[in-house]
Chains A and B, each alone.
Chain A
Amino acid sequence: MQDNQQAYDRGMTIFSPDGRLYQVEYAREAIKRGTASVGGRTDAGVVLAADRRARSPLIEESSIEKLHRVDDHVAVASAGHVADARQLVEFARRKAQENRLRYDEPIDVETLAKEVTDYIQRYTQSGGVRPFGVALAIAGVDPDGTPRLFETDPSGTPCEWRATAIGGDRETLHAHLEDGYRADADLGGAIALALETLAESGEPLDADNVEVTTVDVESGRVRSLDPETIEPHLADLDIEVDDE
């Protein structure tokens, strides 16, 4: 099996006899090695939360960015290769501005997600390149006020979710989201569920090692929560919190 597989996993554009693209599957493995990010959508808006725990106490935690603002009304969470994520985030930012230049309107979240996944797909069908080793959760509020949450994967398939987790421990986190998800929760409830879900991955959370970004329906704008704002949300949760 090993020899057989190796013949088909070198060229990006070569199918294995059973119809698989090994490079795309390896890219998904790269995502699983990343720390998790969680996204959830309710009637009140969309929430993204990410674990940015540092590998060393010497790292400035604020320099580990996993949530990115793309436009006034769209933000992105990433899991996997950070450098790859930055390229896709930059692509999404330019596409969002291109829509404003062309139509003088903010881009809707679905169109933006599909622009990004179409771009990702091109990197599965060309020789001499590798696929993007990153998954994105694209969260935003459409110009008509509808909250949306999309996920991209290395094959370039877009998928819309009510709530999802990307990165390591995805199955555990999804199970927690499935139990706790409520579509009519307010934004605070959505933040609580996202933080609880992140806590499922094991390590204790504190306000400095998680990032939280919201896009609420009322304002339609991206808001990045600072640690002082995250603190009370964590205190309300029945989870293990890092007190130091």
Chain B
Amino acid sequence: MSDFVDPVTGADALGDPGAPELGAIETGSGSGGEDASRTARDDGAVNKTGTTTVGIVTEEGVVVATDMRASLGGRFVSNKSVQKVEQVHPTAVLTLVGSVGGAQSFVRTLRAEADLYEVRRDEPMTVHALATLAGNFARGGPWFAINPVLAGVDRDGSHVYSIDPAGGVMKDDYTVTGSGMQLAYGTIEGEYDREMSLADARDLAVRAVEAASARDTGSGNGVYVATVTGDGVDIEGFDETADALAPR
């Protein structure tokens, strides 16, 4: 509790920069025991995305591609048509990686935060602010077993960030998270070019997910592709990854 108290509610008048504004953090004091049981819950027999999610930056915008498989421990396919990229901001998307329950809750919370920020300040959050907030939540909040890609466009240009479960926030030209990451990185490495068109980046992202789907048991069953420009977000799903590639 800070020195500044709301005299009506008795609540702290200063906010917690690591906590979501709406939706209580169930861990309360954040004591080790509760954290441990929560981590165990997200680590248990719950739906995981396994996953390969790819984000690539271009001058024109960003592209994100994700596979469509949910699995139990990567050994049983529990769902074959999961959309693992969701819009969280007028010009930004987040991928769902890790525990499905944790990732879905994370998406809902970021949406609420981005909406409140924009309506109060009359301008959208920058992608950097959104990434910082997501990192704070991953570090201090109730979301442990998540490892999303955040990709978006703002007045400063196109950005891709990875958010790790301990709250690490890293910006890059392209980034991959999920169990198929090494395969996807192998596809992108050497092919990426900072000057490439959005259409070429889209093909590269799809091919990266395709490669991971071929060999990683946690990834597969098609691809979702999100393209983000200054004008907004467009998300499409394809049961066959080949259908997502531009005709040649």
Contacts and interface: CB of A to CB of B under 8 A. Distances in A.
Contacts of A114: 120
Interface stretch (B35-43, B57-65, B123-131, B198-206): B123-131
Given A111-B120, A126-B8, A129-B7, A101 B13 contact: no
A94 B14 CA distance: 8
A55 interface: no
A99 B126 CA distance: 13
Contact of A103 (B4, B8, B14, B125): B125
Interface in A170-205: none
A122 B6 contact: yes
- Which of B4, B18, B128, B133 has its CB near the most chain A CB atoms (within 10 A)? B4
Interface in A107-146: 108, 110-111, 114, 119, 122-123, 125-126, 128-129
A123 B7 contact: yes
A94 B2 CA distance: 10
Contact of B13 (A108, A122, A129): A122
A108 B133 contact: no
Contact of B128 (A91, A101, A105): A105
Given A91-B13, A108-B121, A119-B13, A103 B133 contact: yes
B158 to A, nearest CB: 18
Nearest to A103: B129
Interface string B1-41: 01110111000011101100000000000000000000000
Nearest to A127: B7
A187 to B, nearest CB: 26
Contacts of A122: 6-8, 13
A91 B18 CA distance: 18
B241 interface: no
B5 to A, nearest CB: 9
Contacts of B120: 111, 114
Contact of A104 (B6, B7, B129): B129
- Which of B8, B126, B128, B133 has its CB near the most chain A CB atoms (within 10 A)? B8
Contacts of A104: 128-129, 132
A54 B8 CA distance: 38
15 contacts: A94-B2, A101-B17, A101-B18, A102-B133, A102-B136, A103-B132, A104-B129, A108-B121, A110-B121, A119-B6, A122-B7, A122-B8, A126-B7, A126-B8, A128-B7
Interface of B: 2-4, 6-8, 13-15, 17-18, 120-121, 125-126, 128-129, 132-133, 136
Interface of A: 90-91, 94-95, 98, 101-105, 108, 110-111, 114, 119, 122-123, 125-126, 128-129
6 closest Cβ contacts across the A-B interface? A101-B17, A126-B7, A103-B129, A102-B17, A104-B132, A126-B8
